[in-house]
A and B are shown apart, each in its own frame.
Chain A
Amino acid sequence: MRRWYLQPSILVGGATLLAVAGAALAAGTLYPDDPLDMVGAPFTWPGTEAATPLGTDLMGRDLLAGLMHGARISLLVGLSSAFVSLLIGVLVGATAGFYGGGIDATLTRITELFQTIPAFLLAIILVAILKPTVVTIVFALGVTSWTSVARLVRGEFATLRERDFVRASIALGAGDLHLIFREILPNAWTPVIVSTALLMANAILSEAGLSFLGLGDPNVVSWGSMVGLGRDALRTGWYMTAIPGLAIVLTILGLNLLSDALHGALNPRLRRSRS
């Protein structure tokens, strides 16, 4: 059997993400100025001016500079809101799965409640309440997408809690915190890791969606806001919409490929460890 990390999907996905991360890192050096600054003639098509290889938008801002700085926002929002949802999801799921009973029932109800509210709508409402900045967007997206993690972790905890090694620890008088964080959590990571890439992908997409609707942070360039801006020029310069959109597609594709590969690679072990 080939080593799992040599699959084409991992290579392609990893390379794409590395390229995006590279762009985000290089943005500050290659384009030290504010990417919101107007630097050229508006409506410059890609490949017509050497200074702006990807063209300019309808205000004369460099698309390439925007794309690279936008990569920062996308990755930042993706990583941080995935972290927020993991944090909430793991806490809720671990508590519910570990303690069971009334606590479990209550937390499960709360989780279900959140699942019945359309997440994107909730995110829009939260951003409107908190005013759009990168931080509030991260918070809004994190708070609206933890439910799946919670359910996953709860399931893992409920199973693992009954396992022999946990029972043995209990018999030895281990405290709850020790059991949760030292004994069970390390064994429950696998499904969480698999869904992290998806959480990130969803956060990036949601941030783009919010920005597209005009609910992004107006002080930073984001791929979604670039698509939203380009929409005004759909008939005269569709490239302004197409280019940042492609950047989103490639990044999400990279994350999805990675997540698929992880799923395929980790799942057999998951099954083995359970049997």
Chain B
Amino acid sequence: MLLPLLRRLLQLVGIVLAIAVLDFILLKSLPGDLVDVIASESGSVTPEYLAELRRLYGLDRHYLEQLVAYIGRLAQGDLGFSFRYGEPVFGLVLDRLPTTLALVGAALTLSVAVGLLLGIAAARRPHGVTDTLISGLSTLGYSAPLFWIALMLIVLFGVKLGWLPIGGIRDVSARHSGWRGSLDVVHHLILPVATLSIYYVAVYARLSRASMIDVLTEDYIRTARAKGAREGRVIFGHALPNAVLPVLTMLGVQSSALLGGSIVVETVFAWPGLGQLSFEAIKSRDIPVLLGVLLFSAVLVVLSNLLVDLVQMWLDPRVRRPRTASAAEPRARTEQPGRLA
């Protein structure tokens, strides 16, 4: 158990390095640089000033030299400096991380819980009325683009009904603090979380329905039933721990898509998180920030996959052995392309 952990951590270092090099080359091929953006926005600049900025930002050096300097700083744990924001990248990313985590964390927690329950309810009688309803609705939820759900929710709850705030993270003029401040944030969270949840609930309901149906046909469930175990105990005690495996795998897979998915939602709801930060960074050619976000998300993905593996080992002893066909099968369903938008 310790060895794979160590191997994973080593792998992490390799991935971080590879991502850094790959992304650096990729980002350097973006046409124009930060100085072009600053010059364009500013409306009036002088050539000398532009040259000075490029020298200051190190953009006048050969890009291999820049790459070596970047890797060198990275080795010392320095993510670089954003000249756009006048702040170290680490602080900038750390600043936005909780905002994104709040949004995505709330949405995922809600979605996994609701999705599992719906999936279980649907799996109990496949093709019954409940199942048809749940499956139909989740296919619908699975089919709508996030940005469109967001806009429709804004029209309904923000514009027509006027119940909920449609953007931002808090009401800054009210200057709430303490629990009222938290309540204010929660109020602002409702619409973006609802947007993400409509999609994720659908994903997890579909997934857990399928895996629950699979598990419910297995021998040990039949044995449990034959022994006269009550239905609730069969489902939550025997079937669920195994049925939850693909859901966990999906969570791991989705951790990388989270950032992508949150770009549109954060943009629509003016939610100052990592998605918005990275989108702005692309547009303004703020390469260190973009690299920082990409590295952060890579680490996040690797760590969450590691966590998922650990939980799986704990939940299902079979995973420790070479995978059998039946254990691989529910996994295969999660091998479907991840949603981008």
Contacts and interface: CB of A to CB of B under 8 A. Distances in A.
Interface of A: 85, 109, 112-113, 115-121, 123-125, 128-129, 131, 141, 144-145, 148-149, 151-152, 155, 191, 195, 198-199, 201-202, 205-206, 208-210, 212-213, 224, 227, 231, 234-235, 238, 241-242, 245, 248-249, 252-253, 255-257, 260, 274
Given A116-B301, A255-B143, 7 more contacts: A116-B302, A120-B341, A125-B26, A205-B339, A227-B145, A227-B148, A241-B151
B279 A112 contact: no
A5 B340 CA distance: 29
A209 B144 contact: no
Given A118-B260, A206-B340, A249-B140, A113 B19 contact: yes
B146 to A, nearest CB: 8
Contacts of A241: 148, 151-152, 155
Contacts of B172: none
B27 A125 contact: yes
B51 interface: no
A249 B155 contact: no
A167 to B, nearest CB: 20
Nearest to B138: A256
**Interface SS majority for chain A:** helix
Contacts of A256: 139, 142-143
Given A120-B263, A129-B31, A253-B140, A242 B340 contact: no
Contacts of A145: 337-338, 340
Contacts of B152: 241-242, 245
Nearest to B259: A118
B171 interface: no
Given A120-B263, A213-B264, A227-B151, A208 B145 contact: yes
A231 B151 contact: yes
Nearest to B264: A209
Given A117-B19, A152-B332, A206 B341 contact: yes
Contacts of A131: 31
A125 to B, nearest CB: 6
Question: Sorted from nearest, which 8 A-B pairs have the closest CB atoms?
Answer: A209-B341, A120-B260, A245-B148, A252-B143, A118-B260, A120-B340, A253-B143, A206-B340
A120 B257 contact: yes
A121 B294 contact: yes
A124 B282 contact: yes
